[in-house]
Copies of this chain bind each other. A is one copy, B any other.
Amino acid sequence: MTDRPVLVGVDAGGTSTRSVVVDHSGRCRGLGRAGSGNPTAVGVEAASAAVTASVGDALAAAGLAGDRVDAVLLAMAGAATTSPLDAVRRGLAGLGVDAPVTVEGDLLALYFSGTPRHDGYALVAGTGAAAVRVEEGRLAATSDGLGWLLGDDGSGFWIGRRVARAALADLDGRGPSTALTGLLLDRLDLAAPATGDRAAGRDVVLRALRQLYAGRPVQLAGFAPLAFEAGNDPVASVILDEAAAALGHTLRSVILPGIAGPVVLGGGLLTHRRDLVDRLVADLAAQGSTPRTAVVPDGVLGVATSALRRAGVAVDEDVFTRVARSLAELR
Contacts and interface: CB of A to CB of B under 8 A. Distances in A.
B144 A164 contact: no
| Interface core residue of A174, A199, A202, A205 (most chain B CB under 10 Å) | A174
A270 to B, nearest CB: 18
Range class of the A interface residue count? 20 to 34
Contacts of A213: 147, 149-150
A228 to B, nearest CB: 21
A192 interface: no
A173 interface: yes
Contacts of A206: 79
Contacts of A209: 146-147, 150
Contacts of A212: 149-150
Given A79-B206, A146-B172, A150-B164, 12 more contacts: A143-B172, A147-B209, A149-B212, A149-B213, A150-B165, A150-B168, A150-B209, A150-B213, A151-B165, A151-B169, A153-B174, A217-B217
18 contacts: A141-B173, A141-B199, A141-B202, A143-B172, A146-B168, A146-B209, A149-B212, A149-B217, A149-B220, A150-B161, A150-B212, A150-B213, A151-B165, A172-B253, A173-B254, A174-B249, A174-B250, A217-B217
Interface of A: 79, 141-144, 146-147, 149-151, 153, 161, 164-165, 168-169, 172-174, 198-199, 202, 205-206, 209, 212-213, 217, 220, 249-250, 253-254
